[in-house]
Amino acid sequence: MKHPTKPKKSSNYERAEEWCRDVVKKGHDLLFNVEIFDAELAKASRDLGFPLESLNSFLRNIHLQYVKKRSHVIRNQMQSNIIEEYTGTIGAGGKSILQLAKKYNFPPSLLARAVVEHVTIYEKKKVTQALRDPLNKLSSAEVILEKHKLSESTSNKPKSMPIDPFTGNPMDMVDGLLASTSTSSSIGVGVPQITRLAREVIEATNSDPLYGPRFDRERQYVGVEYEILLERSLSSMNIAFETEEQLRVRGTPRTPDILFSCPMAIKVPKEILGKANGNANGSGNKNNSGNKAKHENVVAVDEDGGVWKMICWIDSKALFGDVTTHKTSVLPQAETYINRFGPGLILYWFGHAPLELLGMHHGGDVLVVGEVPKVFMLPTGDLAKDGQRIL
């Protein structure tokens, strides 16, 4: 696995943040077309001097914040406006799910879910299944609520061949799905008729570069991959630890990805500690204190001023650690680990905001890094590096 590069200093971070927020606010076309997304993201990465993987994650973080704020507005407008526009009750003919997603600046996959919830007989659990397999679950007009059936239409062939949201292959190449989903008489052998709803859900899912079944599964796989990479890195240093899975087996709730069998220490360079402390008092956290953070959990101080700080756990995050995500989503989770296990480390695989912006939290109980520390100090004072003990 290629290890992601890290973004440069604060100015690049601020420029990247401005670009991401502008894209989200304006509802840029890249949010509704995968090809445009890939091209524009690559261009922005070059122009901003910001790693592609980091920018991708940064954009999704900011867009997710927007979606959380916007969701209640969309819910309120579903019955009064959006469904009527979809069915054609208002306006000239029904608008497609993708057209409505662009109009209301909302992710196509998430709007598709809302439409399916409103126009079909399915409950929420079955809606999820329908979004994963629209060709089988939504191709029959029988699943459409009676009052919305007039808005549905079938065609002998979609405008473009549906693409499987998981494999990216044309649907007629995936287990013969097209040949087995005909819901009415067909013109020609193996050419199914497909409801408008099924066709538009497929179109919306395929057009969404940030959400939907395929991307949910990809993010899950990436998260697991990086957890495995962390475990292998620690094992190569002969460091004893338990994984989240092992902790859950023995009934430990709310566990980090790695819990050390005994406390370890990592070296925090003097200049890094200074930057983090520089914003500590301005973060709004009553537990933050510049002086306290400098001395809390310190096990040794080197001649160069570097401080060895104790950590008991590591939480692996396969994302970019921007300021808002770090303070509103990641830190609250870390607080539960601090209360149960002591101080720890948050590892952002795709980089993070400059430490002077993130600040030092909980008296230095939470450290932030963008890669696995290369050296650990054991309780004996020995150093572990790639399976070696350095006295």
* CA proximity to 198, closest of 53, 72, 97, 347: 97
66 by DSSP, 3-state: which? helix
Q: What is the pLDDT of residue 299?
A: 79
DSSP alpha helix (H) spans, 208-249? 213-236, 244-249
Of the segments 106-115, 245-254, 299-308, which one has the largest average pLDDT value? 106-115
Q: What is the pLDDT of residue 185?
A: 35
Q: Is the dihedral of CA 284, 286, 287, 288 positive or negative?
A: positive
DSSP alpha helix (H) spans, the chain? 10-26, 34-48, 52-77, 83-87, 97-103, 108-119, 124-132, 134-137, 196-207, 213-236, 244-249, 270-278, 290-295, 323-325, 331-341, 355-358
- Comparing 272 with 348, which gets the higher pLDDT? 348
CA–CA distance, 337 with 365 (Å, rounded to integer): 10
For residue 25, count CB atoms less than 10 angstroms from its CB and return exposed for 0-12, middle for 13-18, buried for 19 or more.
Answer: exposed
Of the segments 287-291, 342-346, 353-357, 360-364, which one has the largest average pLDDT value? 342-346
CA–CA distance, 205 with 207 (Å, rounded to integer): 5
pLDDT tens per residue, range 167-177: 454 444 333 33
How long is the chain?
Answer: 391
Q: What is the pLDDT of residue 172?
A: 44
* Overall average pLDDT of the 101-105 stretch: 97
φ, ψ dihedrals at 308, nearest 5°: -90, 115
Q: Indicate if the pLDDT at residue 100 is higher than 80.
A: yes
* Overall average pLDDT of the 339-351 stretch: 95
Residue identified by tokens 């261009």 is: 43
> Of 38-42, 122-126, 320-324, where does mean pLDDT reach its minimum?
122-126
Q: Indicate if the pLDDT at residue 373 is higher than 90.
A: yes
Q: Indicate if the pLDDT at residue 6 is higher than 80.
A: no
> Of 256-265, 279-288, 330-339, where does mean pLDDT reach its minimum?
279-288
Q: What is the pLDDT of residue 150?
A: 82
**Are 16 and 53 contacting, i.e. CB atoms less than 8 angstroms apart?**
no
* pTM greater than 0.75: yes
pLDDT tens per residue, range 116-152: 999 999 998 899 999 999 999 998 999 999 988 887 7
321 by DSSP, 3-state: which? strand
End-to-end CA distance of the chain: 32
pLDDT tens per residue, range 271-307: 666 655 555 444 444 444 333 444 567 877 887 778 8
* CA proximity to 211, closest of 6, 321, 68, 52: 68
* Overall average pLDDT of the 381-391 stretch: 73
What is the residue-averaged pLDDT of the chain? 83
* Overall average pLDDT of the 19-45 stretch: 98
Q: Indicate if the pLDDT at residue 189 is higher than 60.
A: no
* Overall average pLDDT of the 364-384 stretch: 92
CA–CA distance, 278 with 298 (Å, rounded to integer): 18
Q: What is the pLDDT of residue 155?
A: 33
Q: What is the pLDDT of residue 298?
A: 81
